[in-house]
Structure 1
Amino acid sequence: MKAIGFAGYSGAGKTTVLEQIIRVLRERGMRVSVVKHAHHDVDVDVPGKDSWRHRKAGAFEVLLVTEKRMALMREFEAPRLDLSVHEMLAELDPSVDWVIVEGFKQSELPKIEIWREPAAGDKPRTLRYPEDAAIQAVATDDPGCLPRDCTLPVLDLNDPAKIVEWMLANGARFEYASTPPNNQENPL
């Protein structure tokens, strides 16, 4: 499987472009999984339903299975800020073609930086790539507004098919190795 991260400022359009990239990959017959970092408490279970009741009763894990999907909910006994992206990738089906990782900007996974000029009145946004060797390309809607010259490939944020073409052409660099370089695990 190939794993690629997408990192950028909140409001830069990561989720929107990833929806489009996932669709393009699926149209090309590829299986895609996603790992998404959320900065807040989320609950995918429905209060009052059996699976919710089992979790509230103290179950460590609840595996909910229907004829169309499966959802695993795992309760941590204490907040886990130290989960590495590798631990999360290990939970996924390794037979998928691509894993898209949204967020986890500190991870050493090869990634594309999503950059948009901030809205009027917002504080300026720097580029992460000069300090992050894992960034392989920058996707933007206006290369002329980048805060500095970019020495990496610059991809058109408004053309997800071209981003996918670049990903496929450079697929070897995204082959996932379950052991991070130098055995360093990067937390969220």
Structure 2
Amino acid sequence: MTVPRIFGVTGWKNSGKTRMTAALVRELTARGWKVSTVKHAHHAFDIDRENTDSWNHRQAGAREVAIVSGKRWAIMHENAKREPEPPLADILAHLSPCDLVLVEGYKGETHEKIEMRRRESTTKARLADTDSHIVAVVSDEKKSRGECLPFFDHSEIEAIASFIERRTGLNKESAA
């Protein structure tokens, strides 16, 4: 199995991670790349709605539920009690082949990533100060003295996408 190219978008809460990830998906797919995403959530979430057939299957105790139509399909996996969250590598192994996987969150992982910063963020600590896997910063504030990483404004989607293409080695010969 080929390991997919991955690149991360990380930052503190309200830093613009989801907005940036979606904008990069739009830009990179418009350039012809097949892009998948992985979103890390630090809270409980549910992609199913109460009283649907698949929800009823899960409530009855099914460990995995696949819901399939001609338009899309999904597999929902219920972690057993005290079962740890799966590592990112395990999740990546379940994805179909693509040119690039954009990973939102996963601050502690060792793939290259951009750090999102925004005035409204809940935390002001700079992740790049302690994470050598952060290779660029996207911020709505001015670049500070001593900042040596590439620095982008939130609006520079095309430039950020081009930076990611260069960092991950995406070129027409590498298409999935």
Provide TM-score, normalisation by structure 1: 0.82
Is the Cα contact below 8 Å between 1:35 and 1:101 reproduced in 2? yes
The answer to whether the aligner puts 1:10 opposite 2:9 as a matched pair is no
Cα RMSD for the two superposed structures: 1.9
Residues 137 and 64 of structure 1, relative CA distance in 2, 3 Å threshold: same
Deviations 1:14-49 (A, max 9, x none): 111111111001111111111111122111112112
Aligned position for 2:173:
none
- 1:97 Cα offset (Å): 1.0
Secondary structure in 1 matching 2:169: helix
Is the Cα contact below 8 Å between 2:6 and 2:168 reproduced in 1? no
Aligned position for 2:109:
107
Task: Give 1:24-39 correspondences, 5 Å limit.
Answer: 24-39=27-42
Aligned position for 2:92:
89
**In percent, how many aligned pairs have the same letter?**
35
CA distance in 2, matches of 1:103, 1:63: 25
Is the Cα contact below 8 Å between 2:8 and 2:111 reproduced in 1? yes
CA distance in 2, matches of 1:24, 1:79: 39
1:152 to 134, 149, 154: 149
Deviations 1:161-184 (A, max 9, x none): 1100111122239xxxxxxxxxxx
Is the Cα contact below 8 Å between 1:140 and 1:157 reproduced in 2? yes
Aligned position for 1:141:
140
Is the Cα contact below 8 Å between 1:113 and 1:135 reproduced in 2? yes
Aligned position for 1:78:
81
CA distance in 2, matches of 1:80, 1:139: 35
1:59 to 53, 58, 62: 62
Residues 31 and 79 of structure 1, relative CA distance in 2, 3 Å threshold: farther
Aligned position for 2:163:
166
Deviations 1:68-116 (A, max 9, x none): 10110011112444421111111111x2111111111011111111112
Gaps of 5+ in 1: 174-188
The answer to whether the aligner puts 1:98 opposite 2:137 as a matched pair is no
Secondary structure in 2 matching 1:170: helix
Gaps of 5+ in 2: 171-176
AA matched with 1:158:
S
* Count of residues in Structure 1 that have an aligned counterpart in Structure 2: 167
Is the Cα contact below 8 Å between 2:58 and 2:64 reproduced in 1? yes
Deviations 1:116-135 (A, max 9, x none): 2347xx66x12111211111
AA matched with 1:156:
D
